[in-house]
Structure 1
């Protein structure tokens, strides 16, 4: 049964400190003296953690990605992936085998940044820009009508808050609500023999500040993002951005949040959330002064950690699979969904960009394991509804590519998945080679499957379609 209960995130702030201890007494039947004094702190730390998590995560990801070391790229430039992710790859989690990705971080604090995309000549290209709160500000999804048939050449100007000026003729203006943004361009790749064509498209993408784009020798310099020594050290630490954020104590987390807020105000504007942060001693741009209540703060931080990775009630689910519905990518005040999406599928687009359905249990509720053999049966009228293409990939339970041979294989309609005579389609999942033409190699351990729908149709996100169950044979 599909669950699609659209319940906006209702924060615990109704029991906050605005009315003092008398009001708090009304939120619990028999509070202790300690609860009367610090109970609001725990709740507000947890609520504020969920609220600020995407901004802190994006800041950590930016700091780790920007630079001149291997695997990094300077601000306002792109880093191009030129080969499929290796076995064991886990950053980003659940790396795609369908596309080669070009990513970069924009800084529009001094001037607009111009992004030029070439004509992909029918090849599927998914480009998107996320603000620092992980809302999708712009994507190519609106260029796909009934089917995804590539993108045409286009030039866009990403403009920061309050900028006034003139753009070159033919350049489309896109206003950003935050100083920084994440640009992702994913180009369909059809295996190793196709890499040369993908690289040619990658080289044709241009990203440059406005002054450089128009040839001004007095090109404006971009100041580095706000950061302190501790933040820089955290960005250089090992582990994914999500792991780095999870390792921060309350002071480290809220200091990063406070430093990021002046350049990246909440979207949508939320003075109530900022007031709650002020109650905790967290003000934009200022050093954090948390209350002297270490136990309450630690409890609130732990609660925040749990809530960020807990599936919200309005997540779609069916046959053991979970996926995001219509609200993904533009979250409004749905802070629970926004935080969960940031933690589990960083960079996820809107309902029109992509669907990633994830399953880790079979139809009997048992953990998937590559030692077993499973079949996913798509009825003739239940194939994934897409305007682009779809694929299924197997990962370890932690989201890494497994070491099963042959490794790095995804099964889907772009690589000739065979249908049965009645039009249905079966995918066999196991670590042992299968005679099935649609064999998906799996890790020899507990695993998860990810079904990707590129340029999905509305049925995939409005709850009228669901992936079929994973049945153990």
Structure 2
């Protein structure tokens, strides 16, 4: 079965073909189907997890997490709190702006203002596979601002003279995730003004020309509670793949997926499967989850692989679907290694899972060994079950480098942070990061990390239980 032709048709009429009653044949034996389902689950989870965010932010206008319709910008001029649930492991240092891009009809032009050199900001451009295909902002284009054009995979026009850069997405649905550094609570109004100067226009609007024909209306399927934990995932994956032409490096893989009914733009009908076929898919998904659990325990928790391995361009990930799954599972929309480094504290110095009901912990940075970052660093707390920020009476969700003047240093000039659920001693409270009364993890983020992070010269301290 080929993929180029149905993909091309679907981009013009998604809602028409998705309503068809026919669906791709399930030709794999149960044993084969189990192995294919394992592969397809690891491959498809990031795509469908991304769809959850797309739906809540750009489709469900009545939802609490709605930000803006497609091709318009939505700003959140506040820091994230435990009430924000659109995606897991959010940061609370950089108020976000959001643009969900529909590039089927024409490109979008993103205009960025000039901002002060000391303030970090970025625009992370993400395709529907969760690849970070480009960046705009402090590191990549500077703080001087400019006009940048994002084009879809099929666009063949000319670059206008006053466009600073053209970047191409391999999918017609893509995401622009803006981060604007917030210095402190008093700085919110300045951040709000910066966000107000972020502009998004279609190319025809930017050039003040007639708009091209409106593409077919998309019937977005409503998310379900089990969509990323069951074979339901394959229905949403088929839907999303209609917006991305097959890559040459994946045509054999997609042909294998077709043997269990995974075909771009086609319905995926679980009710049409036999009991044996459904069990094969369930078992394959269980196999995928088990592989990730072992990988996380043996390589992620021990820092043998790091966040920079999980996020980046397609070339960077080199079709490593386990890595891409790991990134989406633990912290979807993470930055590429050049933009930020993420160090996850899932276990303590003894290799045991972090748990605020069982222990209090310290994180000690020796003198002159604070996290090396050209922009800033931040340690943020997350609930181990929900993967969201942790509610606490202090309303403190993180400790970052902007807070250093208010933190108490050790006698030798080092810095000890207290990570625990119970209120610490009075002299330790300035350095307290509240933990939940149960499983947790913390993420140390370094924005614009210095070379000693990647080359291993700087060693992160361990999360140490207090005896």
Same fold by TM-score, threshold 0.5 exceeded?
A: yes
**Closer/same/farther in 2, CA of residues 366 and 113 from structure 1, 3 Å limit:** same
Q: Assess, with a 3 A threshold, how the Cα gap between structure 1 residues 462 and 54 changes in structure 2: closer, same or farther.
A: farther
Pick the aligned partner of 2:75 from 72, 80, 92: 80
Q: Secondary structure at the match of 2:90?
A: coil
Deviations 1:371-417 (A, max 9, x none): 64322111235321212110112222222322322113421212224
Structure 2 CA distance for partners of 1:55 and 1:88, relative to 1, 3 Å: closer
Q: Which runs of 5+ in 2 are unaligned?
A: 1-27
Separation in 1, partners of 2:73, 2:43:
29
- The question of whether the paired residues in 2 share the 8 Å contact of 1:392 and 1:412 is answered with yes
Could you tell me how far apart the structure 2 residues matched to 1:367 and 1:246 are? Answer: 24
Q: 1:56 to 1:88 in 2, by over 3 A?
A: closer
Match among 240, 245, 250 for residue 227 of structure 2: 245
Q: How does 1:289-308 map to 2 (within 5 A)?
A: 292=274, 293-307=277-291
Q: Which residue of 1 is the match for residue 200 of structure 2?
A: 207
Out of 421-430 and 334-343, give the one that drifted further.
421-430
Question: Partner of 2:449 in structure 1?
Answer: 456
Rounded Cα–Cα distance in structure 2 between residues aligned with 1:202 and 1:223:
31
Q: Which of 212, 237, 242 pairs up with 1:257?
A: 237
Tell me if the contact between 1:389 and 1:413 (Cα under 8 Å) persists in the aligned partners: yes
> Bigger CA drift: 349-358 or 63-72?
63-72
Within a 5 Å distance, the mapping from 1:93-108 to structure 2 comes to: 93-108=88-103
Unaligned runs of 5+ in 1: 1-35, 238-242
Cα distance in 2 for residues equivalent to 1:385 and 1:141: 20
Report how many aligned residue pairs link the two structures: 420
Query: 1:41-60 counterparts in 2 under 5 A?
Result: 41-60=33-52
The two structures have a TM-score, normalised by structure 2, of 0.81
Q: Within 5 Å, which residues of 2 pair with 1:315-330?
A: 317-318=301-302, 323-326=306-309, 328-330=311-313
SS at match of 1:103: strand
Q: 2:338 aligns with which of 352, 364, 370?
A: 352
* Cα shift at 1:462: 4.6
Alpha carbons of structure 1 residues 424 and 176: separation in structure 2 relative to 1, 3 Å: same
Q: Which residue matches 2:16?
A: none
CA RMSD, Structure 1 to Structure 2 (Å): 2.8
TM-score by length of 1: 0.80
Partner of 1:184: 177
Measured against aligned partners, the alpha-carbon deviations of 1:161-211 in whole angstroms (never above 9, x if no partner) come to 221223332211111111011110011112321110000000100111111
User: Residue in 2 aligned with 1:31?
Assistant: none
Q: State the alpha-carbon separation in 2 of the partners of residues 107 and 309 from structure 1.
A: 35
Is the Cα contact below 8 Å between 1:99 and 1:186 reproduced in 2?
yes
Equivalent residue in structure 2 for 1:428, among 415, 418, 424: 418
SS at match of 1:96: coil
Counterparts of 2:131 and 2:268 in 1: how far apart (Å)? 26
Instruction: Find the aligned partners of 2:76 and 2:112 in 1 and give their Cα distance.
Output: 17
Pair 59,94 (structure 1): closer, same or farther in 2 beyond 3 Å: closer
Asked if residue 174 in structure 1 is aligned to residue 176 in structure 2, the reply is no
Kept in 1: contact 2:94–2:180 (CA 8 A): yes
Which residue in the other structure is 2:361 paired with? 374
